[in-house]
Amino acid sequence: MDQKAEIMRSSVGIDYEKYITGPLSFDYERMLSDTGYDLETIRTIQSRTAVGNTPLVELKNLTELVRAVSKPGMGARIFVKDEAANPSGSFKDRRASLSVYEAKKRGYKGVAAATSGNYGAAVASQAAKAGLRCIVVQEAFDSKGIAQPEIAEKTRACEAYGAEVIRLSVGPELFYVFLMVLKETGYFNASLYTPYSILGIETLGHELALQVKEQEGRFPDVVIATHAGGGNVTGTARGLIKAGAEDTQMVAASVDLSGLHMASDHDFNRKSFTTGHTGFSIPFTTWPDRADVPKNAARALRYMDRFVTVTQGEVFYITQALAQIEGLERGPAGNTSLAAAFAMARQMDQEQIIVVQETEYTGAGKHPLGQLNLAKQMGIEVVRGNPKDNKPGKAIVIPQHPSQIEVVDVDLDRIRRSYLRNAFNSLPQGQTPGDTDIKFLAADTKSTQDYVREVIRELYGKNR
């Protein structure tokens, strides 16, 4: 563990120290631009491995259902970017494509990633195309050996692409084992949080903005992304901006799993979602540099205009609705943002456009029945009723009627203050933030320098 900084530096090939500009600040844009990849170059790289250029699909039947349960004149048109068309079946191919390309260019013999989600399959798929070896490290099961069905499905996918998968029980050993893998193999760290990973997603936001404009003559009013570690929101928003869609509202959506601890052996199998939930999104939004690299390129709070949550039951409901009235069977993560989009569309005018920016493939372990069967096995009640009665880890309540699907807004002011508190508490004893730090923190919280100074005074008194 003492060798963490050295191992990370050699496995990513980025000298993060040269971007430090103050005790809390670093040159974020320079860190991304120094990779040497612009948007067109990335598009070219991705097209060589059949990544990107996925279809934009209008969900006409789902829109009609929205309007049937909305006030007259309300019910925005819902579109979805069908990222399941990528080689491994999710938008994570965009993230993996640039990381694997960089690894190949630098002469690494293989790539490694610590992930229990779709990203592992994406890295394995891209590594196979590049002729590189691949190791994926997963948190897969609890101390009793009970595995999450969704993670088991992703293990199968990684192995199908030729990757070696190291499966671990939940706990702190994941990061230790991952460091050992990087040290012993000398492989490239295809982290979710490097500049390569974030830049790869920019093409997604850019594509969907231009597709909507070409089809409808204007940019979408709202783009909504399932939010976990922050890369999805960050990359998509940056792509929208580069396309000229600065006025499009960027919304982050997560499943509400409040009360469940993600590193708890007891809670691990009491959640029915392995990603896209508050157990990841809240910690990473309030302190992004908890990642496996020194400075995280996924900084969602910089870009989100709104942050909402939905319940587990609402996501399962919309998953079934998508399959049965749109003929699209897609996996759980993208349907988190789709459930939120359904609720938000009811509050928007009929001429407005809301885009769900990704779907993912489904499979036996990713299907709602697999997750609900595990929930029942763990003693969690699964019932039809009012989703407001949902209790993470105790009860999953599936709506009885689509009008019951609603979003709950997360207070962004509270999130910003939590982020700033974490930042200030990370300062060495006796140090105070300078003007460069204040400017950085304002950008990182999508606020103003006056706001940051005011929060400093409120938290720590007038002397800071």
Calpha distance 52→224 (Å, rounded): 18
Say what the pLDDT of residue 331 is: 87
Of 35, 149, 40, 163, the residue nearest 102 (C-alpha): 35
* CATH node for 52-89+196-409: 3.40.50.1100
User: Which residues neighbour 328 within 8 Å (Cβ) at sequence distance 6 or greater?
Assistant: 57, 80, 82, 322, 359
Say what the pLDDT of residue 462 is: 55
The structural architecture, per CATH, of the domain 90-195 is 3-Layer(aba) Sandwich (3.40)
Calpha distance 423→435 (Å, rounded): 15
Calpha distance 207→203 (Å, rounded): 6
SS3 state at 256: coil
SS3 state at 348: coil
Q: What are phi and psi of 365, to 5 degrees?
A: -75, -25
Calpha distance 124→122 (Å, rounded): 5
Say what the pLDDT of residue 177 is: 95
Please give the structure tokens belonging to residue 311: 């319940």
Say what the pLDDT of residue 2 is: 87
Calpha distance 265→223 (Å, rounded): 35
What's the helix, strand, coil split of the chain in %, to 5? Answer: 50, 15, 35
Say what the pLDDT of residue 274 is: 86
H or E element at residue 437? helix 435-444
Say what the pLDDT of residue 114 is: 94
Calpha distance 352→157 (Å, rounded): 38
CB 94 within 8 A of CB 200: yes
Say what the pLDDT of residue 441 is: 98
207, with CB counted inside 10 A (0-12, 13-18, 19+), is buried
Say what the pLDDT of residue 9 is: 83
Calpha distance 433→418 (Å, rounded): 16
Q: Which residues of the chain have pLDDT under 70?
A: 462-464
Say what the pLDDT of residue 196 is: 97
Of 410, 403, 382, the residue nearest 312 (C-alpha): 382
Say what the pLDDT of residue 253 is: 98
The amino acid present at 390, given as its one-letter code, is: N
